[in-house]
Amino acid sequence: MNKENNNHQSDRCRICKSPFAESLIVREMMFGFRDQFTYHQCSNCGCLQIAEIPKNIDKYYPPYYYSFTAETAKLKRQPFIKRLIGNLRLKKLLKKDRPALRYLKPIDIKFSDKILEIGCGKGRQICDLFNLGFENIEGVDKFIPEEIDHGFGVKILKKDIQELRNNNYDLIIMNHVLEHMPEQQEVLVNCRKLLKERGCLLVAIPIIAEAFNIYKENWVQLDAPRHFFLHTVKSMNILAKETGFEIKHTLFDSINFQFWASELYKKDIPLFPEENNRLAYPVEKFFTSAEMEDFERRSTALNLEGKGDTAVFYLYKS
C-alpha cells in the first residue's frame, strides 16, 4: 500500500479549501501502538484529513502489514480455445460471484483491455485477474523492495505513477490506496494522463458515513495514521471534477467489519496485537452469532441506502 514521508499542515481543507469544522484525536489501533493523531473535518465537503503526516510513517507499515504479506496465486494461462471465445466467456464469468471480478461488473470490460493497478503490493489481484483471462495487465507500487516478475509478461513495477509514460490504459484500479496518498489532486491528474479517452479509473476507498457517525474516533476505517484522507461522497465528487473526471457510478460495498472492528476499538482491543498480522483471537470471543448477524444485516441495509462505509467510484474523463 502506498505511503509517503511528506509532512502536510494546513488550516483549510485540502480538497475544497473551506475552513475546518471540528477535530478528532484518533489512536493507532490496528497494531495497538495507540499513538495519537489529530484529524480535521471540513465544514463544507466533510472530508476528514490528518493534520500532520508523521515523519516516522514507516513505523506504521511494519513488514507484517497485510499488503506486504498477501499470497499471490501461481499464474496459469488460459487454454487456446478459452482465449478464442474470451469475451463470451467473460460475460458468463461476470454473472458469477467471483471476488476478483466484483468491482468490474459495472464496467464495459474485455479480456484484451489494458489494465494497471496502482499500489498493488505483491500483485494478488493482478494474478487473480490474469488467471481469469486478463493477460494485458500490470501493477505499480513504489514501496515494494524490488520489481516482481510473475511470468507471462505480468510484472509489478517499482515505480511512482509519475514515472509511467504509457497513456493507453483502458482501466486503472486503485483498491484502497487513495486514502494513503497525501497528494490527492496530483494522483488523479496523473491517472487521467494514463487513461484512454474512454478509459475508467476505479477508486475503492473508505467513506465517511453512518459508521463514522456512530463510532467517531473509534471507527475502524480511520486507520490512523495510515489513512491521510477519509472522503465523503461530496468531497470525492469535488476532487473528481477538479481533476477532469466525472463519477458515473458508485457502488457501496461495506461489510460487518465496520461494526465489530469498531466495537473492539471502543473496548481498547487492537485488531492485530501480535506481529503476525492475524487476529490473535476469534471474533466469536467478543460477539454472539446473533450480534454478528445483526452487523451483517445492518451493513447490507446501509449499502442499499448509499450509507455504507466503503464505496467504489467509477471515474471517466469529463
Q: Which residues of the chain have pLDDT under 70?
A: 1-9, 274-280
Pull the grid cell for residue 66: 497485510
CA atoms within 13 A on the CB side of 106: 16
Q: List pLDDT tens digits, range 150-200.
A: 999 999 999 988 898 777 999 999 999 999 999 999 999 999 999 999 999
> So what's the pLDDT on residue 180?
96
Domain boundaries, the chain: 20-317
Q: What cell numbers appear for 16 in the block?
A: 475544497
Model pLDDT, residue 9 = 56
Query: Which CATH architecture best describes the domain 20-317?
Result: 3-Layer(aba) Sandwich (3.40)
Whole-number percent of the chain with pLDDT over 70:
94
* Run of H or E residues at 235: helix 233-242
Tens digit of each residue's pLDDT (9 = 90 or more) over 132-157: 999 999 999 988 889 999 999 999 99
pLDDT, the chain, mean:
92
How high is the pLDDT of residue 2?
45
For residue 279, the model assigns a pLDDT of 66
Predicted pLDDT at 104: 96
Q: Strand 137-140 vs strand 20-27: parallel, antiparallel, or unpaired?
A: unpaired
Give the pLDDT score at 6: 47
Packed helices 289-304 and 257-266: angle between N→C axes, nearest 10 degrees: 120
Strand partners, 22: 41
Q: How far apart are the first and last CA of the chain?
A: 28
> What pLDDT does 181 receive?
96
- Three-class secondary structure assignment of 2-58: CCCCCCCCCCECCCCCCEEEEEEEEECCCCCCCCEEEEEEECCCCCEEECCCCCCHH
278: nearest Cα among 19, 112, 64, 131: 64
pTM to 2 decimal places? 0.93
Edge-to-edge strand list for the sheet holding 36-42: 20-27, 36-42, 48-50, 229-230
* pLDDT value for 273: 78
